[in-house]
């Protein structure tokens, strides 16, 4: 029965592709009776290719709509024209009958609902493709809550559709030139992970708990509080928020549009740059505005994470853009991406310089950070470089936050809002505590390297002696290899010496032994000065070699 269901759904997908004129894709699928499909006359021939793609996803239902919404976050993969269409996808669908939703509640709570709730409104306040939301009142304390209830059978439907998508991706991978750069099987696997995580409301509960920690009193931002004891895999219980969706609000009726816009963009920036945990899609449909003009962020099914190292590099990237340092910008963008290695760097730098120069020459009021990021991503995609998934989602989140803030206040200067957050991160990076932590981490790496190097060297020599390791060299413009290796080894040794001097001098100063100078052990001060001179020498040699 399941096989027949999958076969029927696969045929439905193929028929939909044919209906909207995508015969070239169908021709590359292992579909019986392809000759019959060629006879079908396409519909909506007056629409653009991108509009027809959106129509296919809409007509195929929840799984494909969600796929489109996820792909709309991948500006590094998807052309801007298609992103604009995918953002039009709506997943507001007719509500399920309440008896079916009641069955989901009872199955999850494993006890009578009358023992938990004083009342539950049978008419939902919102209905989407994956779930719908009902107002309820708790029996204990009579607190108003919102119940987000997953639609019955939706998980099985999505898994079946994803299995079919995976099959289609494997068939198309490499058969159509346009799709080669995307690695379709890997892309579908990424979509599968995101969608299955979004179906687990326990994950969303944890996301909301983590996000509420980021809230600052009086910042104009709120996130519903979750009741963890009443959350299940298919049910999310949270405080009931009285507000209207931002997309339904008349902005001219708001008393402080600029304050709301600043609150929205500042919260997004703090999430990305300070905490490294952020809402993946802060668009107006996911934001409520209550009577106190507080912004309430809902729908935390999809979030992004960034490591401290990536966040620091993002601040450095922004500084490089502000300084119009195209060399630094190119280096950062290359480290943030994967893909083709033999990139024409000179051409790439010229294209990046053109985008940055246009951006930095604009008046503040006309600056569009989102457009600049999209332009840079498009350049990278053209050169075969693709952002990592979390970074792409982060950029889409910032772009959406900027657009949302500018809906509230078109004259908002986003760059001016970024500056204090970036300055704060730079200051924190160079606090004594963080500097000491960095030196300690570097010293641990040196010790680990010192301990591991003899053993690893012995293993290599032993394998060579037994004939288990073969080394092959291919000569390709390696005239400068010897000099380069010598410089690398010299810098490595010098770095180890500098680290040892700093750590050793610190231990001498802490012990307080020996003759003193200015109240500190002389030997420790001399060690610090020697380490500083050697460190400066190392930095100068690195800068000179880079410019050369």
pLDDT at 1: 36
pLDDT (0 to 100) of residue 512: 64
Q: Which of 438, 440, 443 is nearest to 312 (CA)?
A: 438
Count of CA atoms in the C-beta half-sphere (13 A) of 284: 18
Q: What is the pLDDT of residue 145?
A: 96
> Cα(20)–Cα(12) distance, rounded to whole angstroms?
13
Please tell me the predicted confidence (pLDDT) of residue 34.
55
* Beta pairing, strands 126-127 & 131-138: antiparallel
* Residue 400: both structure tokens together: 């959406």
Q: 11-40 pLDDT, tens per residue?
A: 888 888 888 888 777 777 766 555 555 556
DSSP per-residue codes, 157-171 = HHHHHHHHHHHHHHH
pLDDT in tens, 330-361: 888 888 887 777 888 889 889 988 888 877 77
Residue 228 is classified by DSSP as G
Q: What is the pLDDT of residue 95?
A: 87
Calculate Rg over the CA atoms of the chain. 29
Cβ neighbours for 110, distance < 8 A, ≥ 6 positions apart: none
| Burial label, 116 (beta-carbon count in 10 A; 0-12, 13-18, 19+) | middle
Give the torsion sign (CA, 15, 17, 19, 24): negative
Nearest residue to 90 via CA among 123, 68, 115: 68
Chain-centre distance for alpha carbon 487: 37
Q: Check if the beta carbon of residue 263 is closer than 8 Å to that of residue 408.
A: no
pLDDT at 208: 94
- Position 200 scores a pLDDT of 93
DSSP label at residue 477:
S
Q: Which residues contact 372 (CB under 8 A, 6 or more apart)?
A: 321, 355, 356, 359
pLDDT of residue 232: 94
Residues of the chain with pLDDT under 50: 1-4, 477, 479
**For residue 207, what are the CA distances in angstroms to 61, 241, 278, 389, 548?**
26, 18, 9, 18, 48
Bridge partners, residue 244, by sequence? 289
First to last CA, the chain: 68
Q: What is the per-residue pLDDT across 151-191, written as a single tens digit (0 to 9) for each?
A: 999 999 899 989 888 888 887 776 655 555 567 787 788 88
Query: Which two tokens mark 217?
Result: 């009193």
* Whether 136 contacts 129, CB under 8 Å: no
The β-bridge relationship of strands 385-387 and 295-297 is unpaired
- C-alpha of 526 from chain center: 47
According to the model, what pLDDT value does residue 4 have?
45
Question: Do 31 and 37 meet the contact criterion of CB atoms below 8 Å apart?
Answer: yes
- CA 337 to CA 316: how far, in whole Å? 16
Residue 7: per-residue pLDDT: 75
Q: Which residues lie across from 279 on neighbouring strands?
A: 303
Contacts of 88 (CB under 8 A, 6+ apart): 54
Q: How many CB atoms lie within 10 A of CB 98?
A: 17
Burial 167-191 (b: 16+ CB within 10 A, else e): bbbebbbeeeeebeebbbbebbeeb
Nearest to 439 by CA among 494, 381, 495: 495
Residue 501 CA to residue 504 CA, distance in Å, equals: 5
Consecutive H or E run containing 189: helix 184-198
Q: Rounded to two decimals, what is the model's pTM?
A: 0.69
List 133's β-bridge partners, or say none. 126, 148
What is the helix (H) or strand (E) element at residue 287, kind and residue range?
A: strand 287-290
Sign of the alpha-carbon torsion through 51, 52, 54, 55: positive
pLDDT at 205: 96
């Amino acid at each position: 029965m399941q096989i027949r269901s999958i076969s029927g759904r696969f045929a439905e997908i193929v028929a939909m592709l044919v209906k909207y004129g995508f015969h070239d894709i169908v021709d590359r699928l292992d579909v019986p009776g392809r000759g019959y499909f060629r006879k079908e006359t396409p519909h909506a021939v007056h629409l653009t290719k991108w509009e027809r793609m959106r129509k296919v996803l809409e007509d195929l239902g929840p799984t494909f709509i969600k796929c489109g919404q996820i792909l709309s976050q991948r500006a590094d993969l998807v052309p801007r024209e298609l992103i604009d269409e995918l953002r039009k996808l709506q997943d507001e669908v007719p509500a399920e009958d309440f008896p079916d939703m009641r069955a989901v509640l009872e199955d999850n709570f494993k006890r009578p609902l009358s023992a938990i709730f004083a009342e539950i409104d049978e008419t939902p306040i919102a209905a989407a493709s994956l779930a719908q939301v009902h107002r309820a009142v708790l029996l204990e304390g009579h607190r108003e809550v919102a119940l987000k209830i997953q639609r019955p059978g939706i998980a099985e439907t999505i898994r079946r559709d994803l299995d079919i998508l995976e099959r289609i991706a494997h068939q198309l991978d490499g058969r159509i030139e346009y799709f080669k750069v995307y690695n379709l099987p890997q892309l579908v696997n990424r979509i599968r992970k995101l969608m299955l995580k979004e179906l687990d409301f326990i994950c969303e509960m944890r996301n909301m708990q983590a996000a509420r920690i980021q809230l600052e009193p009086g910042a104009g931002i709120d996130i519903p509080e979750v009741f963890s004891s009443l959350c299940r895999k298919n049910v999310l219980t949270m405080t009931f928020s009285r507000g209207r969706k931002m997309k339904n609000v008349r902005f001219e009726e708001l008393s402080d549009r600029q304050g709301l816009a600043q609150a929205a963009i500042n919260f997004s920036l703090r999430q990305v740059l300070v905490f490294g945990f952020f809402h993946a899609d802060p668009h107006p449909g996911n934001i409520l505005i209550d009577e106190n003009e507080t912004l309430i962020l809902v729908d935390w099914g999809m979030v992004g994470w960034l490591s401290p190292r990536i966040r620091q590099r993002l601040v450095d990237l922004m500084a490089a853009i502000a300084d119009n340092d195209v060399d630094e910008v190119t280096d950062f963008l290359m480290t943030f991406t994967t893909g083709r290695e033999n990139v024409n760097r000179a051409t790439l730098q010229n294209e990046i310089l053109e985008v940055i120069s246009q951006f930095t020459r604009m008046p503040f009021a006309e600056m569009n950070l989102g457009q600049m990021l999209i332009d840079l991503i498009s350049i990278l995609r053209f050169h075969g470089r693709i952002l990592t998934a979390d970074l792409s989602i982060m950029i889409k989140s910032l772009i959406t936050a900027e657009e949302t803030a500018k809906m509230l206040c078109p004259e908002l200067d986003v760059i001016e809002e970024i500056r204090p957050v970036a300055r704060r991160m730079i200051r924190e990076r160079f606090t004594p505590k963080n500097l000491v932590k960095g030196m300690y981490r570097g010293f641990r790496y040196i010790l680990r390297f010192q301990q591991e190097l003899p053993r690893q060297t012995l293993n290599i020599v032993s394998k060579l002696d037994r004939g288990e390791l073969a080394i092959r060299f291919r000569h390709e413009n390696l005239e400068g290899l010897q000099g380069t290796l010598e410089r690398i080894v010299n810098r490595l040794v010098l770095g180890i010496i500098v680290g040892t001097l700093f750590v050793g001098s610190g231990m001498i100063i802490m012990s307080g032994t020996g003759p003193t100078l200015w109240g500190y052990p002389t030997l420790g001060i001399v060690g610090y000065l020697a380490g500083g001179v050697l460190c400066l020498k190392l930095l100068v040699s690195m800068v000179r070699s880079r410019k050369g």
